[in-house]
């Protein structure tokens, strides 16, 4: 099963991309096929002008269409997801996430931005036709330390929440059948925010 990781930060190095790195590692251990879209690498002019025929945009939209599951990571700016992510999501077809499982993730300066996942990002993901939106993962800047030159260190609690979230993503064709039929004891139900 194909899983697409969408990095919604305009920065070359970002804490939200570090969240994607951790999820990708867990997915690789489960044998998942993973692709990435770094919105900052798409043509800025094509994004702003909504030029869906531009090769970089067309390739990114095609990756979304191929994916069975999508992980969206964004920094929270002024109580909302990033502007570059908004530009990209606006270029997707109205049902661009139909039939897909979505995992939203975000980073922000303080826990006060945590609800932006639910009141800003989740409605947009829902409007794109997502069949199943998993509980989001939010991390404060203090939980993701960027290390020179290209590394990062995750807080232990955050690392565990990311591992659990990655475990909820489908990695095989039979995943949905197994997940739908398998009973889950109430003590195993977790919320990760």
In a domain, 40, yes or no: yes
CATH number at residue 42: 3.40.50.360
- pLDDT, position 178: 47
Alpha carbon distance 84, 22 (integer Å): 22
With a pLDDT cut of 90, the percent of the chain lying above it is 78
In a domain, 158, yes or no: yes
Structural domain including 21 reads 2-188
- pLDDT, position 172: 77
In a domain, 161, yes or no: yes
pLDDT at residue 102 above 90?
Answer: yes
Q: Is 96 helix (H, G, I), strand (E, B) or coil?
A: coil
- pLDDT, position 122: 96
Among candidate residues 179, 182, 191, 151, the one with its CA nearest the CA of residue 22? 151
To the nearest whole number, what is the mean pLDDT of the chain?
91
pLDDT at residue 95 above 50?
Answer: yes
- pLDDT, position 135: 95
In a domain, 193, yes or no: no
In a domain, 125, yes or no: yes
In a domain, 112, yes or no: yes
When pLDDT is averaged across residues 127-151 and rounded to a whole number, the result is 93
- What's the structural domain count of the chain? 1
pLDDT at residue 180 above 90?
Answer: no
- pLDDT, position 185: 62
Q: At what angle do helices 55-66 and 83-91 cross, to 10 degrees?
A: 80
Residue-wise pLDDT tens digits, 16-53: 999 999 999 999 999 999 999 999 999 999 999 999 99
- pLDDT, position 177: 46
N-term to C-term CA, the chain: 26
Residue-wise pLDDT tens digits, 57-66: 999 999 999 9
Residue-wise pLDDT tens digits, 142-166: 999 988 888 899 999 999 999 999 9
Alpha carbon distance 76, 100 (integer Å): 23
When pLDDT is averaged across residues 71-89 and rounded to a whole number, the result is 95
Sign of the C-alpha dihedral computed for residues 108, 111, 115 and 118 taken in this order? positive
Query: Which pTM does this prediction carry?
Result: 0.88
- pLDDT, position 182: 59
Residues 6+ apart with CB under 8 A from 6: 36, 37, 39, 64, 70, 71, 72, 73, 85, 88
């Amino acid at each position: 099963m194909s899983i697409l990781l969408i990095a919604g930060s305009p920065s070359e190095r970002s804490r939200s991309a570090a969240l994607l790195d951790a999820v990708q590692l867990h997915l690789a251990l489960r044998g998942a096929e993973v692709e990435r879209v770094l919105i900052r690498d798409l043509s800025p002019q094509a994004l702003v002008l909504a030029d869906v025929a531009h090769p970089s945009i067309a390739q990114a939209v095609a990756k979304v269409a191929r994916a069975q599951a999508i992980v969206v990571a964004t920094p929270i700016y002024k109580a909302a997801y990033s502007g570059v992510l908004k530009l990209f999501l606006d270029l997707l077809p109205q049902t661009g996430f139909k039939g897909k499982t979505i995992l939203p993730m975000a980073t922000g300066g303080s826990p006060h931005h945590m609800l932006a996942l639910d009141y800003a990002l989740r409605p947009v993901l829902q409007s794109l036709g997502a069949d199943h939106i998993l509980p989001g993962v939010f991390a404060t800047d203090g939980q993701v330390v960027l290390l020179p030159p290209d590394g990062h260190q995750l807080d232990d609690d955050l690392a565990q929440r990311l591992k659990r979230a990655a475990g909820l993503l489908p990695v095989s064709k039979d995943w949905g059948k197994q997940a739908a039929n398998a009973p889950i004891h109430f003590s195993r139900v977790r919320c990760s925010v």
